[in-house]
Chain A
Amino acid sequence: MSLALVVDLILNAIAQSALLFLVAVGLSLVFGVLRVMNFAHGVFYMLGAYLGFTVVARSGSFWLSLVLAPVATGLLGGLLERTTLRYIYRRPPIYQLLLTFGLALVLEELVRVVWGPSALPVDPPAGLEGAVTILGAVYPRYRLFLVVLGMVTGVALWFFLQRTRVGLVIRAAAQNDEMAACLGTDVARVRTGVFAAACALAAVGGVAAAPMTTAYLGMGIGVIVDAFVVVVIGGLGSIVGSMAGSLIVGIAQTWGGFYFSEAAMAIMYLVMGLVLIFRPWGLFGEEE
């Protein structure tokens, strides 16, 4: 195996992991704070891709779409949390999963109504087309951008949660609702905010993915299942866990895909099975 190939595979794995991370970390955060497993999370990723397509088509600017699409998706997410989820927090957790499943169906169908059934291609922005040569490997510039985007988001998120006052409140709410309420926090607002932010993050992933994968129906469910695997491996509610889980799944998908292409998915589930047997609550999760 040549060095160029190794570099290529490593970069592919990281680029893939970066996209996964953008989705998984929101899923994990929403679970940590709201105790809701959001089945619709992948649909927000898809929505990001489609909104991104429209913004690029109208304005011609990818960078504008990277800002506008997530903001719009986040607003929609917050609105949905306020109008539906808010009323059933006291129920057994499975009802919240079912509710978000219903929302996913509605949103998926809405996308079909608005954008039609065929896949929509998005061009990478100027300056990120073409390829560069790294250690002998010819590598698409755009994927390098994904690597950077994932890392920057991860680090920024970590700083936000660990070093800011709002981050502290979110972490408090994630650990204990009542304690957060005692701190004088409006828990309902924290929930809405976190839900909206998670949706926006997923949309960032969608916008960023579109030049590589196109915007297509069904991309939401594809990514949500992968993201579930990521958080199960990493542990729900843990950012570091999401990062580690994304890397593991990203590597399993790209390397597995290279060596035994048909079995790429099986490898991912094999890893998950092993983690569950030895640490049922995930690598970085806490035993409940």
Chain B
Amino acid sequence: MAPLRRWGPVATLVVLAVLPWGLARHQLSLLTDLLIFSLFALSLDLIMGYTGMVSFGHAAYFGLGAYGSALLLIHFEVPIPIALLGGALGAGLVAWPVGYISTRATGIYFAMLTLAFAQLLYTLAYKWRALTGGSDGIAGVPKTALWWGGPSLVEPRAFYFLILVSFLVAFVLCRALVRSPFGRALQAIRENERKFATLGQDPRRFKVIVFVIAAALAGLAGALSAPFRGFASPEAMFWLLSGQALMMVIIGGIGTLVGPAIGAMVFVLVQEVLSSYTEHWMLFTGAIFVLMVIFLPGGIVGAARRRFAA
């Protein structure tokens, strides 16, 4: 396990940096998608794995980020980094009141509340035609430049590296976060919320803060997806995407940093392979997921750890 720990990250980085030159256009786009989902799943694991708050409405913030960056890019043609920042901030801002109310509840109640709020936001995106384009969404989102007058990001490889860098920055940020005093407090809350409260601090404050951070990171993922795909649509806020993010986290390994990325990879690849055989791929993904929940609760990372430890 030790050499894997040391060289694994380096090797992964090298592969991710070189891969774009060895992939066909479609494959590169798949890899880019994968990174976006990895970031999205990672943000969910911050609240779900590290704090023990299972959100069933995380897609809402992905979608908010997507709409935010799409609107900024279409109407103001701002450079991409500004659109990303705008999307992330917008998502975090909306998450604040939602988190404030939802954290009054815990466990299943919390999950249901986040789902309800997400459905509310989804309906809003669906009905507010003037702003969101309703069910058609916003199409023609441009890939603008890196800064005003700076290099263009239209070329797929350039955009891939933008997303790779965004993902790496977010990953390092999350890593620092879970190892910080705040991050350890989150884990303590996950372990025993009542004890934490009797030690002198209100756990809810921590939960709201991490909920907003996770939403902003999900918003960043969404903000990346809009220019990458060229559109933002209500589908990005749908409960199905929230559920899929949960699946990625569980499949990869809850409460770990690399788990969500591995889960996203498995999910995207399985979907890619299955969908080339059948349009009903969800049937099999769902069944695989059910089996994993029953037999592999720690996910792939959990199983690997047990194997290496034994």
Interface residues of A (CB under 8 A from B): 31, 37, 84, 87-88, 91, 93-95, 97-99, 101-106, 108-110, 112-113, 221, 225, 228-229, 232, 236, 262, 265-266, 269, 272-273, 276-277, 280-281
Contact = CB atoms under 8 A, between A and B. Distances in A.
Contact of A225 (B109, B115, B283, B287): B115
Nearest to A108: B282
A285 to B, nearest CB: 9
Nearest to B127: A262
B283 A113 contact: yes
A97 B108 contact: yes
Contacts of B107: 93-94
A236 B108 CA distance: 10
Interface stretch (B211-219, B256-264, B290-298): B290-298
Contact of A232 (B56, B109, B246, B294): B109
B294 A84 contact: yes
B43 to A, nearest CB: 18
Contacts of B283: 105-106, 109-110, 113
Contact of A101 (B105, B246, B280): B246
B290 A84 contact: yes
A98 B109 contact: no
A105 B282 contact: yes
A110 B290 CA distance: 15
Nearest to A98: B293
A102 B293 contact: yes
A94 B280 contact: no
B290 A106 contact: yes
Interface in B13-31: none
- Number of chain B interface residues as a range: 20 to 34
A105 B289 contact: yes
A276 B113 CA distance: 10
Contacts of A106: 282-283, 286-287, 290
Given A37-B111, A101-B243, A102-B286, A229 B116 contact: yes
B286 A112 contact: no
Contacts of B120: 265-266, 269
Contact of A103 (B101, B105, B111, B290): B290
B281 to A, nearest CB: 8
A94 B54 contact: yes
A110 B127 CA distance: 30
A225 B239 contact: yes
A98 B107 CA distance: 13
A225 B294 contact: no
A253 to B, nearest CB: 12
Contacts of A221: 239
Contact of A91 (B105, B127, B243, B297): B297
B123 interface: yes
B104 A277 contact: yes
Given A269-B120, A276-B104, A228 B115 contact: yes
29 contacts: A37-B111, A37-B112, A88-B294, A93-B108, A94-B54, A94-B108, A94-B111, A95-B293, A97-B54, A98-B247, A98-B250, A99-B290, A99-B293, A101-B243, A101-B246, A101-B289, A102-B286, A103-B286, A105-B243, A105-B285, A106-B290, A225-B115, A228-B115, A232-B116, A236-B108, A272-B116, A273-B101, A277-B101, A281-B109
A229 B282 CA distance: 27
Contact of A102 (B104, B108, B239, B287): B287
B110 to A, nearest CB: 10
- Lowest 5 CB-CB distances: which A-B pairs, in order? A105-B286, A102-B290, A106-B286, A109-B283, A102-B289
Contacts of A97: 54, 56, 108, 111
Interface in B217-253: 239, 243, 246-247, 250
Interface in B266-310: 280, 282-283, 285-287, 289-290, 293-294, 297
